[in-house]
Amino acid sequence: MIEIKKATIEDIDTLMSWRMEVLHDVFSIEENLDMSELRANNHAYYLNAIPNGEHIACFACIDGEIVGCGGICIYREMPSPDNKNGLCAYLMNIYTHPMFRKQGVAKAVVNWLIEQAKQKEITKIYLETSDKARSLYSSLSFSDMKGYMKLEI
């Protein structure tokens, strides 16, 4: 059975370990690349965002062992007719250790994070996805967004 545990600031070392694993896996980062600045910036982010409620993180556990993780960033955009309170969330770091994939871990994490967003009256959740994860998000009623562009500077 998959158990979801909310991460607290006391879990910062575990959060950092999983965050770096996510980055290495998702971005195919070489093991010998200097990640000290990125690690420091992520650590500072967690230290600020978790206590003030701007980030909710969780771990997925099976038999007491952490096998996956996820997080949701909470922010405010200008209110609009389809988002009257302006609260939004950005789903991120949905990750399952390779040995535990295809067992519903990611789905359990995403459902738990969606529930956290609902409790905060958030009605818009955004995410970026890989082709591998697209079917998971589609099965949870996420849909593609049209008309979006980005500028990397």
pLDDT at residue 63 in the model: 95
pLDDT at residue 28 in the model: 72
Does 11 reside within a domain?
A: yes
pLDDT at residue 149 in the model: 83
pLDDT at residue 23 in the model: 86
The number of domains in the chain is 1
Dist CA 71 CA 56 (whole Å): 5
Does 65 reside within a domain?
A: yes
What are φ and ψ of residue 111, in 5° steps? -60, -40
pLDDT at residue 130 in the model: 85
Closest CA to 75 of 117, 108, 18, 113: 117
pLDDT at residue 33 in the model: 74
Does 33 reside within a domain?
A: yes
Q: Which domain holds residue 66?
A: 2-139
The pair of three-digit structure tokens given for residue 15, joined into one six-digit string = 């959060």
CATH code for position 110: 3.40.630.30
Q: What is the pLDDT along the chain (153 residues), one digit of tens a residue?
A: 999 999 999 999 999 999 988 888 877 777 667 888 989 999 999 999 999 999 999 999 999 999 999 999 999 999 999 899 999 999 999 999 999 999 999 999 999 999 999 999 999 999 998 888 899 999 999 999 888 887 888
Does 99 reside within a domain?
A: yes
